[in-house]
Amino acid sequence: MTVRPACGTLALMEQILTDGPVGAAATVLFAHGAGAGMDSPFMAAAARGLACHGIRVVRFEFPYMRRARLEGRKAPPDRMPVLCDAFRGAAAGLREARRIVVAGKSMGARVAACVAADVGAAGVLCFGYPFHPTGKPDRLRLEPLLALDCAALIVQGTRDPFGTFEEVPGYGLPDRVRVHWVPDGNHDLAPRKSSGTTPEAALERALEAAARFIRFLPERSAP
C-alpha cells in the first residue's frame, strides 16, 4: 500500500517542512545544499519520495538560508561550526523519534556526516556527497566519512563533478560507507536524455535504495 505523504507548508515561523506518517519507524532529518533551500525541487521530490516508503522526513534550513529568505537576497553559507550547531539544534527537536537518520544534499550531506555521532543517528544518507570542490579533485573532504561510527549510504551520480564513478572507488572508504551509483546521473542524480531514462525514474530507483538502507538500520539512542 502506498503511504500518502503528509506534506508540510513552508513557514518561516516554523522553519521546518515535514513529509510522511507520524510515528514512522524512522525519521530522516534532511539538510539542504549550499545554493538552494529546503523547498528546492530536489529536496521536495526526495522528501516526498521517501515519505511514500513510510518514512518521516523533516527538512530544515541553516541560518544563512533563513537570513537570505528574510532579506530577499542570496547569502554565502555559514562556516562549518555554525552549520553543525544548526543541525544539532534541529535534531534536538526529534528526541521522541524511534530511529533518526541524518541526511543531506551536497553540503548538507557533509554536515550530516559531521554530526551523526553527536545526535545518536542510526545512519547517514547522503545525496550527491561533495567529495571535493568541482574542478579540484586534490582537495578531498573525506574526514567526516572516515570518522563515522554508523552505516552510511551515499547516493551519487556517476558523472557528479564533486565525485565521479571513476574517482570515488579510489578513496578507500570504509566498509560501513556504501555508494549507490545512479547511472549517468549529475549532481542532482539526473541522467541525460540520451541515457534512455528520465530524472524522475532515476530518482525513484535511488529512493528505493535509500529506503532499503533505512529499513535495516538499528535503533540508536540520542546522547
**Is 146 part of any domain?**
yes
Contact between 99 and 219 under an 8 Å Cβ cutoff? The reply is yes
Q: What is the mean pLDDT of the chain?
A: 90
Is residue 8 scored above 80 in pLDDT? no
**Is 193 part of any domain?**
yes
**Is 89 part of any domain?**
yes
Mean pLDDT along residues 153-181: 96
Starting at the earlier edge strand, list the strands of the sheet with 177-182.
16-19, 56-60, 27-31, 100-105, 123-127, 151-157, 177-182
For residue 94, with 0-12 CB atoms within 10 Å meaning exposed, 13-18 middle and 19 or more buried, which class applies? middle
**Is 95 part of any domain?**
yes
**Is 96 part of any domain?**
yes
Please report which helix (H) or strand (E) contains residue 153, including its range. Answer: strand 151-157
Q: What are 95's three cell numbers?
A: 528526541
Is residue 14 scored above 80 in pLDDT? no
Query: Which letter does DSSP use for residue 141 in this model?
Result: -
Mean pLDDT along residues 84-89: 96
**Is 222 part of any domain?**
no
Contact between 194 and 163 under an 8 Å Cβ cutoff? The reply is no
**Is 2 part of any domain?**
no
pLDDT for the residue 1:
31
pLDDT for the residue 98:
79
Length of the chain equals 223
Residue 31: closest CA among 40, 179, 23:
40
pLDDT for the residue 6:
41
**Is 7 part of any domain?**
no
Which residues span the domain enclosing 186? 16-215
User: Where would I find the H helices in 52-155?
Assistant: 63-71, 80-92, 107-115, 143-146
User: What is the model's pTM?
Assistant: 0.90
pLDDT for the residue 13:
37
Is residue 7 scored above 60 in pLDDT? no
- 98: domain CATH number is 3.40.50.1820
Alpha-carbon Rg for the chain in angstroms: 16
Is residue 152 scored above 50 in pLDDT? yes
The 10s digit of each residue's pLDDT in 198-223 is 999 999 999 999 999 999 898 764 45
Question: Based on the structure, what is the number of domains in the chain?
Answer: 1
